[in-house]
Amino acid sequence: MAKVAVVLSGCGYLDGSEIHEAVLTLLYLEKQGVEWQCVALNEEQKHVVNHITQAVDAKASPRNVLEESARIARGNIVDIATADSDDYDAVIFPGGFGAAKNILDFAFVGNETYKMNEDVLKFARSFYLADKPAGYICIAPMMIPLIYPEGTKATIGTDESTAEILEKKGAKHIPTLATDICVDETVKLVSTPAYMCAKNILEASQGIEKLVQKVVSFI
């Protein structure tokens, strides 16, 4: 049975993984008859956000990305520093601000000088180097130009300012609706905007299901 790594970045869309996107990814992988395991950084989140007020909770105790991600994974998760890409046939990155804050620093930098956590970069790049398929959801495609060759196709939806930064970083942005996917066949790479432009969970689910199906088809 094929096995896919799903890289999470916490729990909650404002400071971690977008929960809908993560759970839908796991659901559609199982519908495809594919085994999955979540993977995450074992370090503190950049901050904790109150998801009612949508403000940073300065009084909150520091939260660990791996421990928070384990809430979504129901414990089926490993530290990315010790994860071996050879154990997996593909990788998928759900979005959420955790991807832009805990994996990337894009949420804080806001321009093309953004960087990526070295442990995550090494793990993600190993799939490209091994010619294994990958899927990137929501804001996670901002990682693509750091991993893949210049001109690789990617989408973050229809946000022109973010797309411009993505292109300055080296990707070829393809405007895409939340219900659809962007595919670069040459590197077995799939991306979808999900909540970058989805109006509801139904729209997000359609793009994520197509992404999972296409990633699995490449295995």
38-77 residues labelled b (16+ CB within 10 A) or e (exposed)? bbbbebebbbbbeeeeeeeeeeeeebebbebbbbbbeeeb
Q: Which residue has the tokens 């414990």?
A: 75
C-beta neighbour count of 84 within 10 angstroms: 10
> Which tokens hold the place of 173?
């942005």
Tokens 């071996």 belong to which residue?
Answer: 84
Closest by CA position to 187, among listed 140, 136, 146, 153: 153
- What single-letter DSSP state applies at residue 207? H
Separation of alpha carbons 100 and 18, rounded Å: 11
CA 167 to chain centroid, in Å, comes to 18
Distant-in-sequence, close-in-space partners of 161: CB < 8 Å, separation ≥ 6: none
Give me the catalytic one of 11, 38, 138, 182.
138
Nearest to 126 by CA among 84, 96, 164, 189: 84
Active site residue 38: no
Residues carrying an active site annotation: 138
